Amino acid sequence: MLLIGLAAWLGAQPAFAQAQAMPVDVLHWWTSTSERRAANQLSIYLAANGVQWRDAAIPGGGGMAAVKVLKSRVLMGDPPDVAQLIGTTLTEWADVGLVLPLNAVAARQRWAQNMFPTVMELVSYQGDVIAAPLGIHRINTLLYNRRVFARLGLLPPKTWAEFELVARKLLAQGIKPLAWSDEPWQIATVFESVLLGEAGPALYRELIVQRKSSAWLDPRVERALTRLRWLRSIQGETPREQNWTDAARELLQGSVGMMVMGDWAKGELMAWGASPGKDFGCVVVPGTDNMHLYSIDTLAMLVNVRHREATQEKVAELVSSLPAQLAYNRIKGSVPVHRDADVSSLDSCARDSWDTFADPRSARVPSLAHRMAADESIKDAVAQTLWRYLTDARMEPSEAQRRLAAVIRAPSAER
């Protein structure tokens, strides 16, 4: 009699009882110092609200390994409860019914009113809200070592002509002008910023969003490819594959003067104790003023046999709330997805990123290298083609252009 009464009582408070009782497995690829700390910030916030974050981090910047592990866990019938699933990958998983719709949470928290339209569009699919957005990263970020620049009387470059001048002066002092890694995802990350600067937002969208094969034969694409090869060639040593964190370390130590990378690299520098006002600075990649090349991190709640829906909804509610957004993004290097966020307490790089993203006059364009515009296979094919072009000096930019035009496939179904 007592147990039936207790069960009835428990049933009456499902959310609370389940949230406290039930941990959630969270699969993601955040393993660098800042990534780890930002994830911890979320887990502390969840714990304070009765949810236990059980970590399933998969190392490897850019998430290639994590997406593979996620796929194998799903095939084994053991998907995690929560996963860092971003961009077009989300809709692929929603298509096969593996993502828990969060319509009730989104309505309760008025996401459509409070969040940026670009963010809402990304997490909405065929009438459902399919993920909880965490933060907006800016890919077209150029970081520079302030101490080196001050010592040499240099200013951060606004144009590629200025960049060449700065690069020559750095090289003359035995300092590598630009941090570099031959990891294909890092090459693609640098390329898309260079491409945006050369092509402009309209052509960039034709290339990356509409994915018109013919647009890839535009002479501006050839210029971007030539620029990319030049950026790799100014290393003063044989380029090699290295983690993005090692490249960021070179920047901080001053053996390298500049770095083009998503602003997670800024988060990392700050996690190492460096400050944007003193040790390093951030500007946009030349030619991309008033443009925001974005990658938005999201957490999807996966359907599985453990039926932790109430807890998963609570996770979505908590991580998308303003307090969690500010605490997480301050460390991660990205910016809140709320258009009503007060970002005045964030660093100057973050404020500039948020202001640009929020400004209706700016051009917001999706990252290809970080899954905002095309599926995994196209993203990887482009990165591989760029890697092959850079590591084979005999391949002409025009040949790389033809190959890119061949691997790029126009989007099939509408969203």
Positions in the binding site for ligand GAL (CB under 6 A) = 29-30, 35, 61-63, 86, 137, 262, 264, 295, 297, 370
Angstrom distances, CA of residue 290 to CA of 153, 201, 203, 354: 26, 10, 16, 11
Q: Tokens for 325?
A: 């957004």
Q: State whether residue 138 is helix, strand or coil.
A: strand
Shortest reach from residue 134's CB to ligand GAL, in Å: 8
Residue with the CB atom nearest ligand GAL in the bound state: 61
The residue (of 87 and 197) whose beta carbon lies closer to ligand GAL is 87
The residue (of 304 and 320) whose beta carbon lies closer to ligand GAL is 320
* Number of Cα atoms under 13 Å in the Cβ half of residue 375: 10
Please give the helix or strand (H or E) that residue 193 lies within, else none: helix 184-208
Going 188 to 290 to 154 to 248, the CA torsion angle's sign is negative
Shortest reach from residue 273's CB to ligand GAL, in Å: 20
CB 46 within 8 A of CB 26: no
Shortest reach from residue 267's CB to ligand GAL, in Å: 9
The residue (of 166 and 331) whose beta carbon lies closer to ligand GAL is 331
Q: State whether residue 402 is helix, strand or coil.
A: helix
Shortest reach from residue 60's CB to ligand GAL, in Å: 8
Shortest reach from residue 212's CB to ligand GAL, in Å: 25
The residue (of 292 and 370) whose beta carbon lies closer to ligand GAL is 370
Angstrom distances, CA of residue 278 to CA of 142, 147, 189, 233, 269: 16, 8, 26, 29, 12
The residue (of 329 and 401) whose beta carbon lies closer to ligand GAL is 329
Q: Tokens for 408?
A: 């790029």
The residue (of 166 and 374) whose beta carbon lies closer to ligand GAL is 374
| Beta-sheet pairing, 176-178 with 132-138 | unpaired
Shortest reach from residue 296's CB to ligand GAL, in Å: 8
